[in-house]
Structure 1
Amino acid sequence: MRLTSFDALGEEELDTWHRLREGNPLLDSPYFHPGFAQAVHVSGRPVEVAVGRDADGRVLALLPCHRERSLLRPAGWPGADFQGPVLAPGTSFSPLLLLSRGVRGFAFDHLLDGHADDHTDDHEDGHEDGEAGFGPWIESRRPSPYIDVSGGLDAYLGRASRSGKDNMGQARRRAAKAERELGPVRFEADAVDPKALDRVVELKRAQYAATGAPDYFATPDRIDLVNRLLHTRSPGFSGMLSTLHAGPHLLAAHFGLRSGGVLHWWFPVYDPSFAHLAPGWMLLRELVSAAPALGIGRIDLGRGEDEYKRRAKTGEVMVAQGLVTRSAAKRTMRRARDSMVEAAKVSPLGPGLRRIVRSVRSLLR
């Protein structure tokens, strides 16, 4: 297993990347496409790829990463909603092989279930480097919901929860109200509109500030990343900006990633001035309706506790959080941090405790 700069990958590695991904249904998310790693790398945040080969030199696995001194993180972190190695179905992966040449840990927070083995209790230091699976280093698992949009809106309504159906019905009525009050409602599924994307970033940053969440767009390379992705139209991978207007007003928009029949729901926003219309649901309804014509069969909503995701989803997969390390002390500290996080969620002193937790998290990353 060797780390190679993304721009030093040759035709063999890239061809194998595409071949392995296309042969493994688990990897149909756009996050596993080399186009995502390339866009992150070109935007100014270096991506290195761990390339695993067999005894004959054939590429068996690829894992794009960022290196932060002695720590590796998945490429695109903290905006990578699915993570894991690119490898053939049924192929084992030995994460301890990442810990060489000064690398002491690999931290993950959205590892797609299916990369983990089931031996989560064998969690001590006696692992051999050849032992496969991330299971021993998983600290928690959380759901990542999705919407099956095959067949469009009518088919979705047939499989949606009662709350999902209710919200879609309300979205239809509110769209009619918006048209009466504001002007014609216009939906554009795939708009290459830099000004609209600027507005998405502006609204998202305002949302982060209002909620106290970390500002993803605080560093210029991430703004550059979404702008590059907006103009990316390579076969099998692209950025996708969807907008919903009423008259002259941008009510809601979403910027995500697309690969084949999968759209990843990444940065949804709405104008708070029109919150009474629930424009996010209006936008989602339009996307579900347009899905068959767009060739989209699934919308991955990403991990999160948002109420609309719970209402809209038709299913979910699990993603795991953890750290591959040989340091027992580091694992103990992370377990203590996780216990503090869970306590803060249920405590009546939650807001103050959450500020403390954010500080502890920053120290233990």
Structure 2
Amino acid sequence: MTGLRTTTFDALTSRELDSWHALRAANPALDSPYFHPGFAAAVHGTGRRVLVAVDEEFGEIRSLTAVHRDGAVARPVGWPAADFQAPIRAPGTVFAPLTLLSSVGAREFAFDHLVEDPDFEPWVDTRRPSPFLDVTGGLTGYLGRASRSGKDNMGQARRRAARAERELGPLRFEVDNRDPALLDSVIDLKRAQYRSTGARDYFGTAGRAELLHGLHGVRGSAFGGILSTLHAGPRLLAAHFGLRADGVLHWWFPVYEPEFGRLSPGWLLLRELVTAAPALGIARIDLGRGEDEYKRRAMTGHSTVSQGAVSSDAISRALRRARNSAVAAAKSSPLGPPLRALAHRVRAVRRG
């Protein structure tokens, strides 16, 4: 069969899944856990339909692109919590984004964390950094590459860990905690954080807590979910649920108990994860897109992800870019922070 065809994820053949693994392995840009077929399988398993556009030419599968269709708009698999997005293909393979639209029956393919890709350049509106930590060699290796602020914060974390032990009891770190009840506690803490900041509650949509539990049940170094927890005595200080694939760990849902904020529990947990990285076979921790202060301090480097939408409609592209430019201008304005805070409060009132 030749050309682009679309199927559901659960209808993929073993040959197509083998091609997915082979294409991903051949492309270093696709080493994130989000590009592993296990992620698409977990999302599809929650009942959220995953479509896969398969491009085959002369019996060779050239690319696979997993998406959701929401009305006339297609989005990358796992949206809105997929922090890296791209077609699965070997380096140098030509990809025609407009053909994806007809294949999946959409007028637009919207992306917000697309890895750098020249074939999508005409539809890119903005770019943002996605920080990472090179943790080769564990804590010692990381400190040799970290900025001064990264070194300082890790040093402070060591001193605050000693303080936590004096005040609360011995520290206990579990890098791969398999307790599903603790995962529920992490989700509850994250939802409380969303409420306190006025951010949209990711777990307010059906199936998303189920997705984390499904991923938590996947074991193995090739792909799976990892729940890492840090206790002081009987109290949970901080926890993180992330994804790993081979040598990459993605920092996905970090949380901490607000009452222990004075101890900077997030940094305590991150320090423990960096220290444990070699034993896990982890060489890089991706922090995800964003300019959060702790990411800026901790990172040793960054990749770049793009935002935009593939569409043949030139008018809609122009309107979207004008809107994005206005949003960017507002964010850079001195009035940006108070306006965002007001918007968060208004959204919280409406949800209440």
Q: TM-score, normalised by structure 2?
A: 0.94
Q: Distance in 2 between matches of 1:45 and 1:13?
A: 20
The structural deviation recorded for 1:2 is: 1.9
In the alignment, which residue of structure 2 is the partner of 1:96? 98
In the alignment, which residue of structure 2 is the partner of 1:27? 30
- The answer to whether the 8 Å contact 1:341/1:357 transfers is no
**2:51 counterpart of 1:48:** yes
Gaps of 5+ in 2: 347-352
Q: Indicate the SS of the match to 1:252.
A: strand
Greater mean deviation of Cα atoms: 211-220 or 257-266 = 211-220
The structural deviation recorded for 1:69 is: 1.5
Aligned length: 341
In the alignment, which residue of structure 2 is the partner of 1:127? none
Amino acid at match of 2:61: V
**2:268 counterpart of 1:255:** no
- Please, which of 99, 109, 114 is the counterpart of residue 112 of structure 2? 109
The structural deviation recorded for 1:340 is: 2.2
Greater mean deviation of Cα atoms: 191-200 or 33-42 = 191-200
- The answer to whether the 8 Å contact 2:198/2:344 transfers is no
In the alignment, which residue of structure 2 is the partner of 1:14? 17
In the alignment, which residue of structure 2 is the partner of 1:64? 66
**2:129 counterpart of 1:143:** yes
In the alignment, which residue of structure 2 is the partner of 1:315? 301
**2:173 counterpart of 1:210:** no
- The answer to whether the 8 Å contact 2:139/2:274 transfers is yes
CA RMSD of aligned residues (A): 1.6
The structural deviation recorded for 1:34 is: 0.2
In the alignment, which residue of structure 2 is the partner of 1:189? 175
1:181–1:356 CA distance, 2 compared to 1 (3 A): closer
In the alignment, which residue of structure 1 is the partner of 2:350? none
Deviations 1:309-364 (A, max 9, x none): 000000100000010001112112211221221122133443564466999xxxxx
Q: Distance in 2 between matches of 1:324 and 1:331?
A: 8
Amino acid at match of 2:36: H
Extract structure 1 runs of 4+ deviating beyond 3 A: 351-359
1:171–1:234 CA distance, 2 compared to 1 (3 A): closer
Q: Indicate the SS of the match to 1:299.
A: strand
Amino acid at match of 2:242: G
- The answer to whether the 8 Å contact 1:337/1:357 transfers is no
Q: Indicate the SS of the match to 2:91.
A: coil
Same amino acid, percent of matched pairs? 65
Q: Distance in 2 between matches of 1:235 and 1:265?
A: 16
1:79–1:278 CA distance, 2 compared to 1 (3 A): same
Q: TM-score, normalised by structure 1?
A: 0.90
Q: Distance in 1 between matches of 2:302 and 2:195?
A: 29
Q: Distance in 1 between matches of 2:235 and 2:330?
A: 39
Q: Distance in 2 between matches of 1:357 and 1:4?
A: 39
Amino acid at match of 2:286: D
Q: Distance in 2 between matches of 1:340 and 1:163?
A: 32
Q: Indicate the SS of the match to 2:52.
A: strand
